[in-house]
Amino acid sequence: MQHSFIDKYADRDSILHRLDPRVRICLFLLLIMAAVATRAADFFHLIELTVLLVVLAALSRIPIGFILRRVLVVSPFLLMVVLMAPFLDVKNPVTTLRFSAAQISVDTRLVIAATVFVKSLISVVSVILLLNTGRFTELLKALQKLKMPAALVSILMFIYRYVFIIVDQFQRMLAARKARTFSNSRKQQYRGLPQIVGMGFIRSSEHAERVYAAMLARGFDGTVRTMSRLRIGSCDIVFGLVMAGVILLIKLG
Amino acid sequence: MHIPDGYLGLKTLIGTGAVSAASMAWALRRAKAALDQRLIPMMGIMAAFVFAAQMINFPVLGGTSGHLVGGALAAILMGPAAGIIIIGSVLIIQLLLFADGGVFALAANMFNMAVIGVIVGYGTYRVVCRFIEGKKGIFIGSMMAGWLSTVVAAIFCGLELAVSGAVAPSVVIPAMGLVHMAIGVGEGLITAFAVLFVLNVRPDLVATAKKVRRPFTVREIGIGTGVAVVVAFLLSPFASSFPDGLERVAEKLGFDHMAAASALPSPLTDYTFPGVASPFLKTALAGLIGTAVVFVLAAIIARVAVRKTSREPN
Give pLDDT tens digits for A57-109. 999 889 999 999 989 988 888 887 788 777 777 777 777 777 767 788 888 88
- In total, how many domains does chain B have? 2
Strand, helix or coil for residue B64: strand
Residue B166: pLDDT band with limits 50, 70, 90: confident
Contact B197 A78 (CB under 8 A): no
Same domain, B104 and B26: yes
Lowest mean pLDDT of B77-91, B129-143, B158-172, B271-285, name the range: B271-285
Instruction: Give the pLDDT confidence score for residue A140 in this predicted structure.
Output: 92
The reply to whether B197 and B240 lie within a common domain is: no
> Most B CBs within 10 Å: which of A31, A36, A216, as the mutation test of the B interface?
A36
Of A155, A204, A208, the CB nearest to B85: A155
Does residue B179 sit within a domain? Answer: yes
User: Is A119 at the interface with chain B, CB within 8 A?
Assistant: yes
Q: Percent of chain A having pLDDT more than 70?
A: 98
- Claim to verify: residue B77 and residue B173 sit in the same structural domain: yes
Q: Which of B45, B192, B202 sits opposite A208 (nearest CB)?
A: B45
pLDDT for position B170: 81
Q: Name the closest residue on chain A to residue B190, using Cα atoms.
A: A194
Contact B103 A221 (CB under 8 A): no
Residue A2 has pLDDT above 70, yes or no: no
Do A152 and B103 count as a contact with CB atoms less than 8 A apart? no
Most confident option among A75-89, A127-141, B76-90: B76-90
Asked if A99 is an interface residue toward chain B (Cβ–Cβ < 8 A), one would say no
Does residue B213 fall inside a structural domain?
no
What local confidence, expressed as pLDDT, does residue B143 receive? Answer: 95
- For residues A176 and A167, is the Cβ–Cβ distance under 8 A? no
By C-alpha distance, the chain A residue nearest B254 is A89
Domain extent for B246: 218-309
- Quick one: pLDDT at residue B90? 96
SS3 A104: strand
Share of chain B above pLDDT 70, in %: 92
Which of A70, A118, A190 is the closest to B99 by Cβ? Answer: A70
**What's the mean pLDDT when you consider all of chain B?**
85
Instruction: Summarize pLDDT for B114-156 with one digit per residue, the tens.
Output: 999 999 999 999 999 888 888 888 999 999 999 999 999 999 9
The answer to whether residues B230 and B84 belong to one domain is no
Q: Which residue in chain B has the smallest CA separation from A1?
A: B52
Q: Which is higher by pLDDT, B171 or B271?
A: B171
Residue of chain A nearest B84, judged by CA positions? A152
Query: Can you tell me the distance from the alpha carbon of A56 to that of A45, in angstroms, rounded to the nearest whole number?
Result: 17
State pTM to two decimals. 0.81
Q: Which helix (H) or strand (E) holds B235?
A: none
Calculate mean pLDDT across residues B11-23: 95
Q: Are residues B274 and B162 in the same domain?
A: no
Q: Does A35 touch chain B (CB under 8 A)?
A: yes
Residue B4 covered by a domain: no
Which of A31, A37, A240 is CA-nearest to residue A124? A31
Rounded average pLDDT over A218-240? 85
Is B145 in the same domain as B275?
A: no
- Is A43's pLDDT higher than 80? yes
Radius of gyration from C-alpha coordinates of chain A: 23
Based on the domain organization, do B77 and B53 belong to the same domain?
A: yes
Residues B139 and B190 in one domain: yes
Confidence at B307, pLDDT banded by 50, 70, 90: low
Each as own residue / partner, the long-range contacts of residues B268-275 (CB below 8 Å, 24 or more positions apart, any chain) are B271/B236
Quick check: is B314 in a domain?
Answer: no
> Among B19-33, B45-59, B98-112, B278-292, which is the least confidently predicted range?
B278-292
Residue B58: inside a domain: yes
What's the CA gap between A135 and A9, in Å, rounded?
Answer: 9
Domain end, chosen from B171, B205, B239, is at: B205
To 10 degrees, the CA torsion angle through B230, B232, B233, B238?
A: 110
- Final residue in a domain of this structure, among B173, B205, B237: B205
Residue B27 pLDDT class (50, 70, 90 cuts) = very high
Evaluate whether residue B1 is within a structural domain.
no
The pLDDT confidence band at residue B82, using thresholds 50, 70 and 90, is very high
pLDDT of A41 reads: 81
A1 pLDDT higher than 70 = no
Same domain assignment for residues B31 and B88: yes
pLDDT tens digits, A159-210: 999 999 999 999 999 888 888 887 777 777 777 889 999 999 999 999 999 9
Final residue before a domain boundary, out of B142, B177, B205? B205
